Amino acid sequence: MTSGRGANYGMTDQLAALRWVQDNIMAFGGNPRKLFSRVILMSGSAFSPWAMVDTPENYAQQAASQLNCPLGTNFLDCVRNTSIEDVLKVRNYFVTTLG
């Protein structure tokens, strides 16, 4: 899993969503000027029990196994090409563990 690629695509997704709104707001009657001046991204506490998992690699391995995505060089490509329905099914397994 440590292929040198960043693993947190949440920020990239949020940035893409903000750009989409900026690019398409006029179609909904909005004004793209001064739509955003700053953004505050908030998340849970780093001290939450789910954030203090001793072996996060184990969770990644379990998720990879349930998604039929082998760990290794093609892992991220496999996960990215997995349907959202399958990802959500696997997510349900980890909800009680990770909060």
> Which residue has better confidence, 37 or 15?
15
Q: What is the pLDDT of residues 33-87, one digit of tens each?
A: 878 877 777 766 666 666 666 777 787 788 888 889 887 778 888 888 999 899 8
Q: Which of 61, 70, 11 is nearest to 39 (CA)?
A: 11
> Which residue has better confidence, 12 or 28?
28
pLDDT band at 27 (very low <50, low <70, confident <90, very high): very high
Q: How many helices (H) and strands (E) does the chain have?
A: 4, 0
CA separation, residue 25 to residues 8, 11, 17, 33 (Å): 27, 21, 12, 10
pLDDT of residue 3: 52
Whether the per-residue pLDDT at 8 is higher than 80: the answer is no
Residues with Cβ within 8 Å of residue 44, at least 6 apart in sequence: 50, 51, 99
